Amino acid sequence: IPCKCQEQLFKSLGEFFGQEIKIDVQAAETHCPPKTPVVFLQNGEQTVFHIPAILMYLQRYFSELSFEMEQGIQYGQVLFEKLHFLMNLVENPKDSQPNLFKYAQEELIAFMKMLNDHELAENTFLNGNKKQVQDVFMGFILKNAYKHVMTEKMANEMQNLTRYLRTVEKEITFATQELKFAPKK
C-alpha cells in the first residue's frame, strides 16, 4: 500500500463489510506495483489487489450479482478511477505543471457537478437506493476533494453531493471528521 490513505481506504471497506482488516505492512513497503497483493480479510487470510482490480474482487462477497449490479460496480470503478487521477494531480501540485494543476481542479469541480446533477439527482447512492462498495470508494475520495476544491458556495449549489457524502460518512469518518471546505478564492 503506497500511501496511508490507501490503508485507510482498505479499513473503511472492512467497516462496510463488517470485517477487521489486517495490513501486511512489510509486503506493502517492499512491493509497490499497481497490483501488489495485500492481506485483506483476517478470516481466511485472503488477498486482494490494488484498484482497479479491487472492485472486481469484492464482487465475490455478493451471493448473486445481477447484471445491473455488476454494471453498476464497473461504472463506479470507472468514476472512481477518473476521480482518483484528478485528486492525485490536485493533491500533488509540485509534481504537476501549473496549467495541469489548474486543469485538474477545473475537471474535479466539473466531475463533482456531474455527479450532483445526474448520478445523485434522483438516487441516494451511485447505483440506485442501496449503498454498495463503490459508494465507499467514491465517498472516501470525494470527502477528501472537499478540502481541495469545494467552497461553501459550491456546496450550496451541489446539495445532492453533500447529502450523499453525509449518507456514506459512517464508513469514511477516519478520513476527515467533518466536511471541510476549501479556502475561499
142: domain CATH number?
1.20.1050.10
pTM of the model: 0.58
Q: For residue 43, is pLDDT > 50?
A: no
121 pLDDT tier (thresholds 50, 70, 90): very high
- For cell 480479510, what's the residue? 41
Question: What is the per-residue pLDDT across 161-176, written as a single tens digit (0 to 9) for each?
Answer: 989 988 887 766 644 4
Task: Name the domain count of the chain.
Answer: 2
Q: How much is the pLDDT for 45? A: 44
pLDDT at 160: 94
Report the run of H or E that residue 38 belongs to, with start and end: strand 38-41
Query: For the segment 57-71, what is each residue's pLDDT rounded down to a tens digit?
Result: 555 554 455 555 556
pLDDT value of position 116 = 92
Q: Residue 141 and residue 30: Cα distance in Å, rounded?
A: 25
Q: Is residue 24 assigned to a domain?
A: yes
For the cut 60, the answer to whether the pLDDT of residue 184 exceeds it is no
Answer yes or no: is 181 within a domain.
no
Could you tell me the residue range of the domain that residue 46 belongs to?
Answer: 4-60
Residue 17 domain flag: yes
